[in-house]
């Protein structure tokens, strides 16, 4: 179970090392980290991270659970994060469960953006089934 717990972001994130998935990498499965993850390659599966950055050219197909998500690549699936930033060049198809969200005018988004209170993300155990 990966439940997002509120904790001081700066110290916790500064202590955990940063992981990087290069452009030539393909991961099929589940990726889990309490720290920061930069994705330049492709991930097919679920990602649990502290801070997630999807770089331009990167691809995620699946669910993302994190404290903070910044998207500049392509994502097909769902995001569960209190803070979400959909930046320039991003292409998101799916749902963004958020408390605060920023979408750039140069981003492309297709789907829904359900707002949730912070307590929703702190008690996130089993991911909800996608509503039809």
Partner 1 sequence: MPDPTPTQPPRPQAVAQPLPSTPSSAGAPGTSVISKALKITGQLESSENIQIDGEVDGDVKGVHVKIGQSAKVKGTVSGEEVEIAGTVDGKIEARKVVLASTAHMSGDVIHQDIRIESGAYVDGHVRPENAKPKTTASTFKPAVLEKTGTGAA
The reply to whether 118 sits near partner 1 by the rule CB under 8 A is no
We find the least distance from the C-beta atom of residue 53 to partner 1, in angstroms, to be 5
Q: Convert 12-32 to b/e letters by CB count within 10 Å (16 or more is b).
A: ebeebeeeebeeeeeeeeebe
The reply to whether 127 sits near partner 1 by the rule CB under 8 A is no
Stretch that binds partner 1, among 10-18, 91-99, 111-119, 124-132 (CB under 8 A): 10-18
Residues 54/39, Cβ–Cβ less than 8 Å: yes
Distance CA 124, CA 16 (A): 22
DSSP state of 117: -
The reply to whether 103 sits near partner 1 by the rule CB under 8 A is no
Contacts of 117 (CB under 8 A, 6+ apart): 99
The reply to whether 28 sits near partner 1 by the rule CB under 8 A is yes
The reply to whether 56 sits near partner 1 by the rule CB under 8 A is yes
Residues that bind partner 1 (CB under 8 A): 16-35, 37-38, 40-41, 45, 53, 55-57, 70, 85
């Amino acid at each position: 179970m990966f439940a997002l717990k509120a904790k001081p972001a700066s110290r916790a994130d500064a202590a955990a090392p940063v992981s990087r998935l290069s452009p030539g990498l393909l991961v099929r499965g589940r990726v889990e980290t309490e720290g920061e993850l930069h994705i330049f390659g492709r991930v097919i599966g679920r990602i649990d991270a502290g801070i997630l950055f999807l770089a331009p050219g990167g691809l995620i197909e699946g669910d993302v659970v994190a404290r903070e998500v910044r998207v500049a690549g392509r994502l097909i699936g769902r995001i569960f994060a209190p803070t979400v930033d959909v930046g320039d060049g991003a292409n998101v198809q799916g749902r963004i469960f958020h408390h605060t969200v920023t979408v750039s005018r140069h981003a492309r988004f297709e789907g829904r953006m359900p707002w949730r209170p912070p307590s929703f993300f702190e008690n996130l155990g089993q991911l909800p089934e996608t509503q039809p």
